[in-house]
Amino acid sequence: MSNEEIKADCELQYKAISDARLRLKQLRAACNHEKTFEGNYSWRAGSIEPATICSFCGECIKINSSDLSNKEWFEWTQTLK
């Protein structure tokens, strides 16, 4: 495989990832989150919090931590979506 072929294939893969992220965002926006479970949620390396997670789309609905700073941070990140 030549460098040009590798570059072209990489660009196709990055485009596919971007398209998949967009579709996941659309699906999560359409989801009613009717069924949830309690699990662990990690939004960055080294940070795991107990959370309520949608069983259908996998979105974190809320952080169930007693650490207020993590709850506030999570709520702020939700405004960025």
Helix (H) / strand (E) containing 24? helix 3-30
Q: In the structure, what pLDDT confidence band is assigned to residue 47 with cuts at 50, 70 and 90? A: confident
Same domain, residue pair 25 and 49: no
pLDDT of residue 41: 87
Residue type, 63: I
Domain count, the chain: 2
Report the predicted TM-score, pTM, of the whole model to 2 decimal places: 0.69
Q: Is the pLDDT of residue 44 over 90?
A: no
Please check whether residues 8 and 45 belong to one and the same domain.
no
Shared domain for 22 and 8, answered yes or no, is: yes
To 10 degrees, the CA torsion angle through 5, 6, 11, 17?
Answer: 130
23 and 44 fall within a common domain: no
Residue type, 68: L
Is 19 in the same domain as 38? Answer: no
Distances (CA, A) of 80 to 7, 19, 40, 73: 31, 19, 21, 11
- The answer to whether 37 and 58 have CB atoms below 8 angstroms apart is no
Mean pLDDT over all residues of the chain? 87
pLDDT at 8: 96
pLDDT at residue 69, as a whole number: 64
Supply the range of the domain harboring residue 55: 33-81
